[in-house]
Structure 1
């Protein structure tokens, strides 16, 4: 019942929802508080993934192909959040390197951040405006879905 109540509140207030405060680590071991994620007043994307999730990897590969163009056009930044559990966390850095992903990678081995946002399935993407408000969310991936993401970002910078 409590979970249902929380997720209902979250979905109602998504247009103005702030990121919850959860402490995560980067793949380089630095500590990051999720409520301080930002991009110099520009929109940013948070993409939840796991090393074993094929649709997640396809999505992040597709975005990687256009990420430089997106940054140049809109200034958008992408944070990826691995939900791999502690025993698999050592697979994240090699995966990121092998795919040449140039994202800021955060580790959520206990799914604290994922749970705080009420996320059930991955891949799951959030778009935040320049103030850090969650303004869009999407789960699942189909080829070409990344175009919807950049369109939402373009709307935010108009």
Structure 2
């Protein structure tokens, strides 16, 4: 291989690995709650509990199914594997009222955040929803999955158990 190509591949390798490494920690940026209050994403860790972050949209049926499935198991899982659930809506400003209605109707035991400019989504390199992340108490990524099929929530439960057994 030509030396110039080797340099190009080395640089690309380093960029890709840096990007992946950067995604392994909960990023610090500001998003809003449904009431309009600004929240620093690193403040999600202040309870010293693992944080499950689910990116969703009001027009995404699998997103709603995943959040409902987690809700259905939340009280059962909480004593053994306590965690904080955060549902991040990626709908734009036009749909903020719908976000409120969907989250209220779903009775999700979650902090609902609005990522209207999709800054949080970009910071975690979310390309498709639903996408779920599990961060430990220090903000390190320990589990992620994209998409939802019934039973996927059991993989989250296993990841939470693994995290709590450490």
Taking structure 1 as the reference length, the TM-score comes to 0.89
Give aligned pairs, total.
153
1:129 equivalent in structure 2? 136
Conserved 8 A contact 1:20-1:116: yes
User: 2:16, 2:98 → 1: CA distance?
Assistant: 31
1:61 equivalent in structure 2? 68
CA RMSD of the aligned region, Å?
Answer: 1.8
User: 1:25-44, aligned counterparts within 5 Å?
Assistant: 25-38=32-45, 40-44=47-51
Which of 92, 95, 101 aligns to 1:94? It is 101
Unaligned runs of 5+ in 1: none
Runs of 4+ in 1 over 3 A off after TM superposition: 4-8
Which of 52, 55, 61 aligns to 1:48? It is 55
Larger Rg: 2
User: 2:22, 2:28 → 1: CA distance?
Assistant: 17
**How far 1:59 moved relative to its partner?**
0.5
* Larger RCO (CA under 8 A, 6+ residues apart): 1
Taking structure 2 as the reference length, the TM-score comes to 0.85
